Amino acid sequence: MAAKVDTGAGTMAKRDHSVPETIATLEGQPLGPNRGMPLNLDWVRAVRVNTSAVERRAQTLVTRRTVKKDWQAAWLLRAISCMDLTTLSGDDTEERVRRLCAKARRPIRQDLVQRLGIAELNLTVAAVCVYHTFVETAVRALEGSGIHVAAVSTGFPAGLSPLAERVAEIRRSVEAGAHEIDIVITRAHVFSGNWQALYDEIAAFRQACGAAHMKAILGAGDLLTLRNVGRASVVAMMAGADFIKTSTGKEPTNATLPVGLVMTRAIRHYAQETGMAVGFKPAGGIRTAKQSLEWLSLIKEELGPSWLRAELFRFGASGMLGDIERQLEHQATGNYSADFRHPLA
């Protein structure tokens, strides 16, 4: 464990939180939003990961008996409420985005809503995630719904365009109405151990986001080791990230439970040391309802019930929604339906 640290905000990461608020609790300790802090290299360098122990712990999440019947339905509804419904394809169109936004407003078929008796929940997904080009389209389509618009930015997915261009891209997306910005870190800073450069980059992105929430995508599948994932997580949180996110969804390996375990424990340690809560978003490769239950179990056990809501936990997984809807239909009718009865867009 790292020693207690100064939690005053660093110059680039500083934001105005003049009235502290409690957004979560951990072991009875109230936690405020992440304001960032000066880079603590001793803390970063002290990060160690026992890979075999992490893999054994992650395996327990997939071998145990899962929740059933009404409990399972309730967990699946929670998964939907924490979902960033996403379209990030080279052939995206405004019409596809509008149709995705319609699905975001009504993620479950209306007949199933009635059968399940959940009309009063007014269930929606948490956000719709698109490229900058489609931010205004999504904002118009979601007006009045309370659903956020998230924009991938900073040269997504590689994150290798010049820094000034990446910062300008964030500002354009915020001006267009994006409530959340998913930024991509420069993975080379992690490989070279240049933590100051990584911190400065993320803090600059955080400042450009203004009032918009920032999710820092680590590209965990590219980082080679779990220790690199842990260290990058700590630096991103110190630089002021509101969320840390596993992947772009474009890497050969995306969200895995061992990576999630390392990142959630980094979040827990950061909360214990600073009194500030950071959200978590696994993304990429999460396609089934069963996987959503595994991730929800991980969050509940590692961070507690405070994190099981959209303010602090998101799924970056559009393909999973169809399978969740099939499972809910089975709960309501006793029968599984074909995938084509649950289209995303």
Given 103, 215, 242, 245, the catalytic residue: 245
H or E element: which one contains 335?
none
Identify whether 4 is a catalytic site residue.
no
Identify whether 14 is a catalytic site residue.
no
- Cα–Cα nearest to 312, from 81, 108, 107: 81
> CA triplet 277, 282, 285: central angle to 5 degrees?
175
Given 84, 182, 222, 323, the catalytic residue: 182
Distance CA 137, CA 86 (A): 14
Please write down the long-range contacts of 207-213, taking CB distance under 8 Å and 24 or more positions apart: 207/12, 207/13, 207/14, 208/167, 208/170, 208/171, 208/174, 209/170, 209/174, 209/181, 210/174, 211/174, 212/173, 212/174, 212/178, 212/179, 212/180, 212/181, 213/179, 213/180, 213/181, 213/242, 213/243
The tokens describing 42, both together, are 């001793």
Task: Output the CA torsion 72→22→313→106 (10° steps).
Answer: 70
Task: List, in order, residues 6 or more apart from 327 with CB less than 8 Å away.
Answer: 72, 73, 76, 289
CA distances from 87 to 40, 125, 325 (A): 37, 14, 19
Given 103, 222, 281, 323, the catalytic residue: 281
Check if the beta carbon of residue 72 is closer than 8 Å to that of residue 331: yes
Identify whether 300 is a catalytic site residue.
no
Distance CA 272, CA 302 (A): 13
Q: Could you please report the per-residue DSSP string of 204-261?
A: HHHHHHTTSEEEEE--GGGS-SHHHHHHHHHHHHHTT-SEEE---S-SSS---HHHHH
List beta partners, residue 184. Answer: 217
Active site residues: 182, 245, 281
